[in-house]
Amino acid sequence: MVHQKKKLVEEVSGWLRIHDDGSVDRTWTGPPEVKFMAEPVPPHEEFKEGVAVRDVTVDEKSGLKVRIYLPQLEPDYTDNNNHNKLPIIVHFHGGGFCVTQADWYMYYHIYSRLARSAPAIVVSVYLRLAPEHRLPAAMDDGFSAVVWLRSLGRGQGSYEPWLDNYGDFNRVFLVGDSSGGNVVHQVAARAGLVDLSPVRLAGGIPIHPGFVRSVRSKSEMEQPESPFLTLDMVDSFLKLALPEGCNKDHPFTRPGGHAAPPLDGLNLPPFLLCVAESDLMRDTQMEYCEAMKEASKDLELLISPGVGHSFYLNKIAVDMDPHTAAQTTALIDGIIEFIKKH
């Protein structure tokens, strides 16, 4: 029997290869010195550097999983409101809807830090990836995770001791990196249509969201590309992720655009929009900011000067470059301040 060699039909710079039999290879083939950031971190239920981590299957039928980060607290811990329960941060990872996983080191190093510093319980969702699962799969998974929290809060279904014992279901925040920021908007909009009680969505925090449009923006043409974001990556990933036949003006990538539901009709919680000054998508993120304000939505803006897209996930830059380190601390502090206010 002769085995024909698979033919490569599409490749996205180091991240992803698609073969003629439909198989997808996500083995990292970029610079080897950054490969460690794409390595999975095993869960550890014992506290390491002040955080314990476990993976939980939230839906046996679909296989949807989340990673939960629990910070180690002093026995007599209470927050500013004299609560001994912790806010819950539901995290949606980035990767252009096509790559990365919730257990990758690039997320572990920053979200374990946020869980410890806030302090808060972080629930990071393993989103399904395109092209095997085109959008709205990631949005569906994000919303399913919030519905799972509602079932825990109501005492229905499974028991999750970390969340049941320590989580404040009245203070749930959605946070997303890059394309995960798009998921924040869509999940918040969908959540505004249903009764989530006792869960209360207290805020949405899109960090450098993947908001684009079919016509290139000025920042896309002028800002320098980075290892985490090139125009080729944006175009290639969205071609694989958006519903068949759709372009970048789709509501999933342009939620403030003409094809999207009017923002003033959405029931959204307060938002903190985080923008990097040197992000290729800065201009379209700012267009979203203006559209939200025109719709009289409660939105704060946090701009990180002199850094590019997802700078805080780049552990090498955070460790080696004082400016990146300082801006990462400022970003985390800004997120914590927003959480404490709501």
Q: Would you name the residues annotated as active-site residues? A: 178, 279, 309
- Angle of the 137-153 helix axis to the 179-191 helix axis, nearest 10: 50
Q: How far apart are CA 233 and CA 96, in angstroms?
A: 8
All residues at 6 or more sequence positions from 285 whose CB lies less than 8 Å from its CB, including other chains = 208, 209, 211, 273, 275, 279
Helices (H), the chain: 105-117, 137-153, 161-166, 179-191, 218-222, 231-241, 282-294, 315-320, 322-341
Side chain identity, residue 13: S
Whether 98 and 132 have beta carbons less than 8 Å apart is answered as no
- Under the phi-then-psi rule, with left for phi > 0, alpha for psi from -120 to 50, and beta for the rest, what region is 100? left
All residues at 6 or more sequence positions from 40 whose CB lies less than 8 Å from its CB, including other chains = 101, 103, 104, 105
